[in-house]
Chains A and B, each alone.
Chain A
Amino acid sequence: MVAIHLVMKPRIIVVGNGMVGYKFCEKFLEKDTASKYQLVTFCEEPRPAYDRVHLSEYFSGKSAEDLYMNKLSWYSENDIELYIGEKVVEIDREHKTVTSCKGKVLEYDKLVMATGSAPFVPPVPGADKAGVFVYRTIEDLDLMKDYAKQAKTCAVIGGGLLGLEAAKAAQDLGMKTHVVEFAPRLMPRQLDTAGGLLLKSVIESRDISVHLNKNTKDIAGDGAVSKMVFADDSELDVDMIIISAGIRPRDELAKECGLEVGERGGIKVDKYMLTSDPNIFAIGECALYEGMIYGLVAPGYKMADVAAGLLCGVEETFEGADMSTKLKLIGTDVASFGEIEAKEGDREIVINDDFKKIYKKLVISADGKLLLGGILVGDADAYGGLLQIYQNKMALPPEPIQLISPAGDDSQVGTSVMDLPDSAQICSCEAVTKGTLCSAIDDGASSVGDLKACTKAGTGCGGCVPLMTDLFKAKMAESGVVVSSRLCEHFDLSRSEMYDVVKVSGIKTFDELLEKHGKGVGCEICKPTAGSIFASIWNKPILEQKKLQDTNDAFLANMQQDGTYSIVPRIPGGEITPDKLIVLGEVAKKYSLYTKITGGQRIDLFGARVDQLPVIWKELIDAGFESGHAYGKSLRTVKSCVGSAWCRFGVQDSTTLAIDLEKRYRGIRSPHKFKSGVSGCARECAEARSKDFGIIATEKGWNLYVGGNGGMTPRHADLFASDIDRETLIKYTDRFLMYYIKTAERLERTSVWLTKLEGGLDKLKAVVIEDSLGICDELDEQMKHLVDTYECEWKDAINDPEKLKRFRHFTNSDEKDKSVQFVQERDQIRPATLQERNFSINL
C-alpha cells in the first residue's frame, strides 16, 4: 500500500474525536500560532465530538447538534482534516502510518491517542439479550428510545454517577425505573455511607427504586429481557436494562502496535502524556497515569492541554488531578472533593438534615487548619468556595461549620472570592484562574456571559459559574459600578419614582413613559410595573394595555405549572348563597375543573385552558359573579368570621364590615397583593393580625392593625388605632392603602414597606391621622376615584372582541393543545406529570 503524503507540513493525527480529542485540537490551535503542523483527526462515531457530560439532555429536548462541542464547519474553518465515521484500525509505528477502516493510509509525524473508553459490561449470563443497553453514545440513546416505546420497567445496573444519569434518562422515557447497585451505597466513589443513604431517599422520593447490595447473577427472558435474578436469589421483573457499571479504556489499538499498557488496561503515559513511543501521546480516558484512569472531563482537558503544549514547545506537566465533582443528579445537587472519609487523626463536621434532605460533611486536618475534603448532597451552593479553600490550602475560619451552615443564617461567612490569590483556579475544566478572569473583566467583559465567551471558564461542567458570578459582581462593585434601586435596565427610576412621574406628568401609555424616561423596549419587570401604576392612578381595565401584562394579568387568571389556568370568582367576606355555590359546582362539573377551597374563603377552579376562560366567565357573570382578582397584585380577600350575627361571643358584625371593605377595595392595583381580615371579637378567628390590614372588633368599635403578613416571613400586624368607628376606620384604611401604593417599591408587601419606612409606625400615624405631609386630600381623592371607577375586568373583557383575541391557544387552528393532559386523582383531575404525559414534543 502506498502512503499518501501530499501536505508539506508535518502532520499530527488525533485518533478519536471525543470531548478530549476535540479539546486537544482546540488547545493545539491556540498554541500553534505559527501554524507549524497539519491537524488530522479520525472519528469513529457518525458525528463530530459532542458533550457526553450532558448526554441526558438529549432526552429532554436537545438535539445531537445542540450537544456538539463545535459546529462541523469549525473543523474546516480551522483547516483540520476530520474523517467522520472512519475508525482507525491499525497503527504501524515502524512506518509511522495509520490505516482507517475505509482503507485510507496516512503518515504521521506525531500521533495522539484519544480513543476514550467503552462501557464495561460485566460477564452476566443474558447480557446479550434484546433490551440490554449501555449508555455512552447518541446511538445508544436512540436505540434505548426506540426500545423504551414497548418497555414499562427499566433497571439500571450501577448506582454511580453515570448510572444515576442513565436512570434519569430512563425515567424521562416514561419507564418505571430501578437502580441496582452492587455496593452497599450509591455513588460509592464520591459519597460516604450517610451521604449515600440521603441521596437514596431523595431519589426514591422521585419515584426511582434503589436496590443496594445486589449482584446480578442472571438476566433472564425468552430472547428479550424479562427479569433479573440476583446472587441472593431475589428477582426483579424488568423489560429493559441499562448497564452502567464503569468504563474500560479503549487500548486495543495501542496493544496491537506494541505500546506499553497497564495490567488492567490503559495506555501508560508519563507526565507529558507521552507513551512508550516518543512520537505517540495518549490523553483522556484511554491514558493510564501512575496507575490511574481519569474518567472525568476536567483531567482529560488538562491532559489535552499538556500534550498540545509540548508539541508547541511549551513544557507543562500533568501531575494527576483530584476527582472533585459537582453535578445535578435526578434534580438534586451532589458534590464531593478531596478525602471523603476522615483518616486517623482527622476531624469531621457533619450536617445531616433528613427533613430538608441535605447532607454536608467537611473533613478537616487534626489541627483544624486545613480542609482535606468534603461531601455535599441536596445543597451544593458552598461547593465553589470550599473547593477553592481546599485547592489553595487556605486557612479555615475559627468555626468551619459556618462554611456549610444553612442559607439565611446571617452568620454565614463563606470565603470571599476577592480573598483568593490570583493563581487560584476558578474553573478546573478549562483551567482558568482568578487572575485570568479579573483581567478579562478589566479588559471590558461586561457580563458573566462575556466572561464565559472570552475565557471559556464555566463552559465545561458549569460548577464554577456561581463563583464566577460572585467574582464578577465583586469586581463590578470594586470599580464603582453602583447598584441602584432602579427598576431594570430600561428605567433609572424606582417604582415609587415612576409612580410620581406618571401621576405628575399625566402619562397614560408605556410608549410615552419609555420615550420620556426610559430606553430600549422594556421587559417583564418594567412593563407590568408600569401597567400596575397606570391602573393604580387612572384605573382603566388592565387589558386596555395588553402588552404590559405578564403571566396572570395577561389572561386575567392564574397560570398553573402545566400552562392551564385557575379561576377564582369573588366571594366577598367568604359569604355565599346556596344558589351561587351550586352554580360554581355546575360550572366546574361542566368544564371538568378541579375545585379547592382557598385560604381566603373562596373557591378556586383549576384546569381551564386559555380558550375556555371567556366561556366559563360568561357563565359565572350571568350567574352574578365577578372577577376575584386572584391573578392581580391587588386586594385578595377580606376574610371574616360570622361575628355578632351568629356567634355567641361576637361583639360586632364582622361579616358585613368584611363584605363592605372587600367591595370597596376590590380590583385596586398595588405594588404587591394585599389581604385583609375582620374578626368579630378578640378570639380573632379571621386571623386579622396576619393581614396587610386587619380589623378586630371591640366593645366600643374596631381596632385597626396594619403591616401583618403570613407566608414566607410572618409578621403580626401593628395596632394602628383603637376603638374607632366605622367611618374613621374606612378613612384611615383608605389613606394607609393609598400611601402604600404611592411609596412602596415593586413587589414590596406592606409588612416590609412598614419596616423600611423611616419613622416607622409613628410616621405612618402622623401621615394618615395628623396629615403631617399635607397629602391626605390627595390620598382621599385618589381612593375615591378608584372606588368610583371600579369595573369588573372580566365583564369588560367578555364584551370586547378585541380583548378576547388572545384567548385561544392557536391563532391559526381550533385544535386543542395536546400537551395539556390530566389524570384522575381522588375523583378529580390533576395535571399529568411529565412521566405520565403521553405526548411527544415536536420542534
Chain B
Amino acid sequence: MDTNWTNIGSVDLYPQDLGSCVLVGDVQVAVFHLADEQRWYAVQNYNPQNERMVLSRGIVGDEKGTPIIICPLHKYRYSLKDGKCFTDEQYSLKVFEVREEAGELLVKAS
C-alpha cells in the first residue's frame, strides 16, 4: 500500500518525554518523544490487549535500553522500536515512521 507522509503540525505542540495522539485519515496514531534519545516514535494508539484507544496517554520509559510505552490501563509494556509486547508476546503494535522537518512533525501512516 502506498503511504504518505502527513504533516501533524509544529513540534512545539508535542510535549517532551510524553505521548500525544494524532488523527491521520481515520487512524489514531500515538506519537512519543524521548528526551534521552532526542527522537520521536509513533505506534498505533489502540492497545490490542484491552482494545482501547489509550496508549498515547501512557508513560514512556525503557526496558533494558529498549524504549517502551506502558499502557495506562493495565501496564502492558510495548517496544517503541518494533511494537512487540514485553508483557505478553501475543500482542504487538503497528509502528509508524515519524520525523521532524523544519520545526514540523511528519508521520507516515494512512
Are B9 and A54 within 8 A (Cβ)? no
CA distance A786 to B46 in the complex (A): 39
| A812 lies within 8 A of chain B by Cβ | yes
**B13-47 interface bits toward A, Cβ cutoff 8 Å, 1 = contact, 0 = none:** 11111101111011110010010100000001010
Q: Is the CB of A843 within 8 A of B22?
A: no
Pick from A54, A523, A546: contact of B70, CB below 8 A. A523
**Does A817 reach chain B (CB closer than 8 Å)?**
yes
Cα–Cα, bound, A62→B67 (Å): 23
**In the docked arrangement, what's the CA distance between A549 and B72, Å?**
10
* A66 proximity list for chain B (CB < 8 A): 92
A57 and B90 contact, CB distance less than 8 A: yes
Q: Is B99 an interface residue (CB 8 A)?
A: no
* Residues in A neighbouring B26, C-beta threshold 8 A: 842
Contact between chains at B8 and A449 (CB < 8 Å):
no
CA distance A521 to B77 in the complex (A): 14
Which residue of the partner chain, among B50, B57, B86, contacts A554 with CB atoms under 8 Å? Answer: B57
**Are B21 and A521 interface neighbours, CB within 8 A?**
no
Closest 3 CB pairs of A and B: A523-B61, A521-B62, A551-B72
The residue from A452, A528, A806, A812 contacting B18, defined by CB atoms under 8 A apart: A806
Cα distance A60–B92 when bound, in Å? 12
B23 lies within 8 A of A810 (CB): yes
Known: A521-B67, A815-B23. A559 touches B61 (CB 8 A): no
User: Quick check: B44 and A843 within 8 Å, CB to CB?
Assistant: yes
Q: Which of B9, B54, B70 contacts A524 (CB 8 A)?
A: B70
Per the bound structure, the CA–CA distance linking A490 and B36 in Å amounts to 14
Chain A contact residue count (CB 8 A cutoff): 45
State which of A521, A559, A810 has its C-beta within 8 Å of the C-beta of B72. Answer: A559
Contact with A along B77-97 (1 / 0, CB 8 A): 100000000100110101000
Give chain A residues whose Cβ lies under 8 Å from the Cβ of B60: 521, 547
Chain B residues close to A by CB (< 8 Å): 8-9, 13-18, 20-23, 25-28, 31, 34, 36, 44, 46, 48, 50-54, 57-65, 67-68, 70, 72-73, 75, 77, 86, 89-90, 92, 94
Asked if B73 and A811 make an inter-chain contact with CB atoms under 8 angstroms apart, the answer reads no
Q: Are A520 and B18 in contact (CB under 8 A)?
A: no
- Provide the residues of chain B in CB contact with A62, threshold 8 Å: 48
Chain A window 506-550, contacts with chain B (Cβ cutoff 8 Å), 1 for yes, 0 for no: 000000000000001111100110000000000000000011011
Find out whether the CB atom of A562 lies under 8 angstroms from the CB atom of B21: no
Task: Give B86's nearest chain A residue, CB to CB.
Answer: A449
Docked Cα-Cα span, A494 to B27, in Å, equals 41
Q: How many A-B residue pairs have CB under 8 A?
A: 123
Contact with B along A439-458 (1 / 0, CB 8 A): 00000000001001000000
With contacts A547-B18, A561-B50, A806-B15 known, is A523 near B23, CB below 8 A? no
Sample 11 A-B pairs with CB under 8 A, ordered by A number.
Answer: A520-B61, A521-B61, A547-B16, A550-B59, A551-B73, A563-B54, A810-B21, A812-B22, A820-B53, A842-B26, A842-B27
Interface pair A60/B48, CB less than 8 Å apart: yes
Complex Cα gap A57–B64 (Å):
29
CB distance from A367 to the nearest CB of B (A): 41
Q: Is the CB of A524 within 8 A of B75?
A: yes
A619 vs B57: C-alpha distance when bound (angstroms): 24
List of B residues within 8 angstroms of A551 by Cβ: 57-58, 72-73
**A813 adjacent to chain B (CB < 8 Å):** yes
Q: Which residues of A contact B34 (CB under 8 A)?
A: 521
Q: Is A784 part of the binding interface, using a Cβ–Cβ cutoff of 8 Å?
A: no
Contact with B along A790-833 (1 / 0, CB 8 A): 00000000000000011001111101010110000000000000
Nearest neighbor of A546 in chain B, beta-carbon distance: B18
Cα(A254)–Cα(B107), bound, Å: 53
Cβ contacts under 8 Å, A817 to chain B? 28, 53
With A and B bound together, what is the CA distance between A843 and B24 in angstroms?
A: 10
B23 and A61 contact, CB distance less than 8 A = no
Residue from B9, B25, B63, B72 within 8 A of A811 (CB atoms): B9
Shortest Cβ gap from B98 to chain A (Å): 13
Task: Report which residue of A452, A815, A842 has the largest number of chain B beta carbons within 10 angstroms of its beta carbon.
Answer: A842
- CA distance in complex: A810, B52 (Å): 15
What A residues does B22 contact at CB under 8 A? 810-813
User: Given A528-B59, A819-B28, list of 12 further CB < 8 A pairs?
Assistant: A523-B68, A524-B58, A550-B72, A554-B57, A561-B52, A563-B54, A811-B13, A811-B31, A813-B22, A819-B53, A842-B26, A842-B28
Given contact pairs A809-B21, A811-B20, A452 touches B68 in the complex (Cβ within 8 A): no
CB distance from B71 to the nearest CB of A (A): 9
Q: Is the CB of B8 within 8 A of A811?
A: yes
> Given A561-B52, A562-B52, A563-B73, A843 and B59 touching (CB < 8 A)?
no
With A489-B64, A550-B59 as contacts: A806 and B17 at CB distance below 8 Å:
no
List B contacts of A547 (CB < 8 A).
15-18, 59-60
B90 touches A462 (CB 8 A): yes
Q: Which of A524, A815, A834 is packed against the most chain B CB atoms within 10 Å?
A: A524
Q: Which of A66, A546, A809 has the most CB of B within 10 A?
A: A809
By the criterion CB–CB under 8 Å, are B59 and A61 in contact? no
Query: Does A37 belong to the interface (CB within 8 Å)?
Result: no
> Do the beta carbons of A520 and B62 come within 8 Å of each other?
yes
Contact check, B65 vs A61: say whether CB atoms are below 8 A apart. Answer: no
The chain B residue sitting closest to A819, CB to CB, is: B53
For residue B61, which residues in chain A have a CB less than 8 angstroms away from its CB? 490, 520-524, 527
How far does the alpha carbon of A524 sit from the alpha carbon of B62 in the complex, in Å?
Answer: 9
Residues of B within 8 A of A581 (CB): none
Q: How far apart sit A489 and B31, CA to CA, in the bound complex (Å)?
A: 25
For residue A808, give the distance in angstroms from its CB to the closest CB of chain B: 8
Bound: A386/B9 CA distance, A? 57
A841 within 8 A of B: yes
Cα A546 to Cα B17 with chains together (Å): 9
Could you tell me the distance between the alpha carbons of A57 and B28 in the complex, rounded to whole angstroms?
Answer: 20
| Given A449-B89, A550-B59, A554-B72, A520:B23 Cβ within 8 A | no
B73 contacts A527, C-beta separation under 8 Å: no
| Distance, CA A7 to CA B86, complexed state (A) | 44
Beta-carbon contact of B51 and A555 below 8 Å: no
Shortest C-beta distance, A563 to chain B (Å), equals 5
Q: A811 to B14, Cβ gap below 8 A? A: yes
A813 touching B18 by the CB < 8 A rule?
A: no
Q: A809-B21, A811-B9, A811-B21 are in contact. Are A561 and B59 (CB under 8 A)?
A: no
